[in-house]
Amino acid sequence: MTRIDAKFAELKAAGKKAFVAYVMAGDPDYDTSLEIVKGLPGAGVDIIELGIPFTDPMADGPTIQAAGQRALEAGQTLQKTLDMAAEFRKGDDSTPIVMMGYYNPIYNRGVDRFLADAKAVGVDGLIVVDLPPEEDDELCIPARDAGLNFIRLATPTTDDKRLPKVLQNTSGFVYYVSITGITGAGEAQAADVAPEVARIKARTDLPVVVGFGINTPDKARAIAGIADGAVVGSAIVARIGQGEPVDEVLDFVRGLAEGAHSA
């Protein structure tokens, strides 16, 4: 059982939904980013998605693209992102960390080396948005064999024919993308998302969490109410990009978490 499995079991036993927060590692700089990440569990975050900055983030909207650029300009690397996870683990051995990004930095490091290093620093799962199920031998299956969850995205265009392929080697949870397009575009509507979540849950026992288009506590509550949890990324990253103090960013996160937990 991974920390992700344990967290969902704990939440289910308590009758609560998950709140998942995404931040870009190294944004706006290493020290500030680490301070934010360390503060997330205290603000109510159940699972942390830690973005790996990349030069060509094709699935991300302007907000997260800008965050990745800030992080890269401040000197963030894949190694420093692993270092950040290791520093976080010194004070927290229970909150799951999912590293989210693109395959190129992992490929350049070497899959075996990356997986060994990620496991050693306490990473629990991976979301790699540009590796489809047809490429499972590249990273998904080796990650599973190394004891890491490989979390797949399902989208509004994932039809009943495609869905079994998407679910095939997925573990930890399924991330349902509520809207078609890039991050930060549009707003999630619970009425539209509910039947899609039900369709996925009919095919898997894994928790289904919903992300994209969630930017207020009320929206987090509405989406968590029809799924197993809600993910917020762009709305948090935007505040970091605006230079908000760490405590104000964490206060905003706390409100979102309370919304999801009250579902």
Q: Report the catalytic residues.
A: 49, 60
Instruction: Give, rounded to a whole angstrom, the gap between the first and last alpha carbons of the chain.
Output: 26
Closest CA to 232 of 258, 206, 207: 258
Core vs surface per residue 108-134: b (16+ CB within 10 A) or e? ebeeeebbebbeebbbbbbbbbebeee
Distance in angstroms (rounded) separating the CA atoms of residues 55 and 68: 7
Phi, psi of 192 (to 5 degrees): -80, -35
The token duo for 66 is 């800008």
